[in-house]
Amino acid sequence: MVTPVSRTKEPEASEKPSESVYYASCSDAKAAGAAPLHAGDPGYRAGLDRDGDGVACEA
């Protein structure tokens, strides 16, 4: 008889705690080589996402 093993699911990107990365502007994110930022990425915030599509600093 096989005993079932309990496994936990890896958290989705949106469930992971945000990293302590902050970009004051898209210029800062681009200078750091981090742009474009996607929702769930460290440093992403809605204030940098002009059109609200989940991708910040895309242009």
What's this model's pTM, rounded to 2 decimal places? 0.65
pLDDT at 59: 82
| Cα distance between the two ends of the chain | 58
Tokens linked to 36:
């474009």
**DSSP at 26:** H
Q: Is residue 31 within 8 Å of 7, Cβ to Cβ?
A: no
What digits encode the pLDDT tens for the residues 3-58? 565 555 554 554 454 558 999 999 999 999 999 999 999 999 999 999 999 999 99
